Amino acid sequence: MKRAYNFNPGPAALPLEVLEQAKEELVEYGGKGMSLMEMSHRSKPVERMMEETRQLLAELLGLPQGYQALFMGGGASTQFALIPMNFLAADRVGHYVLSGSFSDKAYQEAVTVGEANVIASGKADKWRKLPDVGELQVDATAAYVHLTTNNTIEGTQFRELPDVGDAPLFGDMTSDMLSRKQDWTKFGFMYAGAQKNLGPAGVTVAIVREDMLHVSSERAIPTILKYATFASNESLYNTPPVHSIYMMKLVLEWTKRQGGVAEMERRAALRTGMLYETIDASGGFYNGFADKEARSRMNVTWRMQDEAIEKRFVQEALQNGFEGLAGHRSVGGLRASAYNAVPVEACEALVQFMRDYQRRNG
Ligand SMILES: Cc1ncc(COP(=O)(O)O)c(C=O)c1O
């Protein structure tokens, strides 16, 4: 099999080594005469696997004491709703920084639950720029400030975190968790759907600072939708997405073998650096979508002269083994999502293809 150059935005590339290992262990796990998927989630092998995954995640991220990682279902979108349900009391307000369509969705979900407002927005700039978060007006009654650290669709990323005073900062890190060092102490809560850097779809990691578990929205919410339920039951209150968690464990082990988050950060700069250089050196044949200062190290977005040439680019790229390069329908153009498992060589090959395409069509 020739592996595709996989630039899918999520679900996204997984390391080949991880897939091979999963294949090896698919039919029988730990000499038990059955696969992991056939075991009770209350069995020792599953409990151990979950505990090891939790520890490895904390170790790789460098989580300080007092933070707990929960494994949940429902994708990051479910977190948009669970956050206000759990943390937004009737006499408080949830502040939202809008930097892309996913942050807008998070906000739209919050207003169905309680009072939420927008304290900074890049919508007027069509999300090309990050909103100015230099002097945020954070209310004394703020339950939290919600921020999307990397905007997957638009290809922008916050490199610096805003000062939110005493309010807890909440981060949607779906598309950049595990790709760079982060000052976790600034966050009261952060979450990521696994399907970018962490593993396959099906599990969502929610990391909660333990004091936040005592914050109550005083809303009558079902037990299964409470973070405290997951925290006090080690994410085993009900049947967790065992196979997805197991795959995440393999991805985390691979990440550690590669050199951890520092190495992931170095590779991300290298991968996206060469793509941005190619765009900038093209004399306007390729036009970066995101403002230069806001550029993401995960998702590189660009436009071309017209839609017809963009379509042809995607088609020809596909014929040459490059998958997933069409931009999101809301932005158009092209997008190369280069998450942790995308080899640097895939970006080198894409650079060659882009230069060659320009030579033939420029
Ligand atoms: C930043 C961000 N937030 C939220 C989501 C939604 O995730 P899910 O599809 O897991 O609900 C995505 C999906 O790509 C995302 O990139």
What pLDDT is stored for residue 246 in this prediction?
98
- Expressed in angstroms and rounded, the spacing between residue 174 Cα and the centre of ligand 1 is 6
What pLDDT is stored for residue 362 in this prediction?
86
**Cβ of residue 152 lying under 6 Å from some atom of ligand 1:** yes
**Cβ of residue 172 lying under 6 Å from some atom of ligand 1:** yes
Strands 142-148, 169-172: pairing is: parallel
**Cβ of residue 320 lying under 6 Å from some atom of ligand 1:** no
Task: Please state at what angle helix 344-361 crosses helix 260-280, rounded to 10 degrees.
Answer: 10
Residues of the chain whose pLDDT is less than 70? none
pLDDT tens column, 287-323: 999 999 999 999 999 999 999 999 999 999 999 999 9
**Cβ of residue 289 lying under 6 Å from some atom of ligand 1:** no
Domain residue spans of the chain: 16-257, 259-361
Task: Please state at what angle helix 75-87 crosses helix 101-110, rounded to 10 degrees.
Answer: 40
Spatial distance between the Cα atoms of 14 and 190, rounded to a whole number of angstroms = 23
Q: Characterize 167-200 residue by residue with b for buried, 16 or more Cβ atoms within 10 angstroms of its Cβ, and e for exposed.
A: bbbbbbbbbbbbbbebebeebbbbbbbbbbbbbb
Question: Minimal CA–CA distance to 266: which of 140, 180, 159, 352?
Answer: 180
- What sign for the dihedral angle of Cα 158, 275, 75, 27? negative
Contact 157, 296 (CB under 8 A): yes
**Cβ of residue 340 lying under 6 Å from some atom of ligand 1:** no
Spatial distance between the Cα atoms of 353 and 349, rounded to a whole number of angstroms = 6
**Cβ of residue 202 lying under 6 Å from some atom of ligand 1:** no
- Expressed in angstroms and rounded, the spacing between residue 107 Cα and the centre of ligand 1 is 14
Ligand 1 mutation pick, 97, 102, 151, max ligand atoms within 8 A of CB: 102
Strands (E), 309-361: 322-323, 334-337
What pLDDT is stored for residue 304 in this prediction?
97
SS3 content of the chain, % helix, strand, coil (to 5): 40, 15, 40
Q: What are the structure tokens assigned to 32, written together? A: 């038990």
What pLDDT is stored for residue 295 in this prediction?
98
C-alpha dist (Å) from residue 78 to 73, 85, 194, 222, 359: 8, 11, 13, 14, 45
Spatial distance between the Cα atoms of 278 and 355, rounded to a whole number of angstroms = 7
Spatial distance between the Cα atoms of 204 and 241, rounded to a whole number of angstroms = 9
Residue nearest to atom 10 of ligand 1 (CA): 75
Q: What are the structure tokens assigned to 315, written together? A: 């088609």
CATH number for the domain whose boundaries are 259-361: 3.90.1150.10
Residue nearest to atom 9 of ligand 1 (CA): 75
Q: In this structure, what are the phi and psi dihedrals at residue 24, rounded to the nearest 5 degrees?
A: -55, -45
**Cβ of residue 206 lying under 6 Å from some atom of ligand 1:** no
What pLDDT is stored for residue 1 in this prediction?
83
- Domain 16-257 CATH (choose: 1.20.1090.10, 1.20.120.50, 3.40.640.10, 3.40.50.300): 3.40.640.10
- Expressed in angstroms and rounded, the spacing between residue 8 Cα and the centre of ligand 1 is 13
What pLDDT is stored for residue 63 in this prediction?
97
pLDDT tens column, 123-152: 999 999 999 999 999 999 999 999 999 999
- Expressed in angstroms and rounded, the spacing between residue 106 Cα and the centre of ligand 1 is 10
**Cβ of residue 114 lying under 6 Å from some atom of ligand 1:** no
What pLDDT is stored for residue 260 in this prediction?
98
Q: Which amino acid appears at position 147 of this protein?
A: L
List residues bridging with 288 in a β-sheet. 302
Q: What are the structure tokens assigned to 190, written together? A: 């952060």
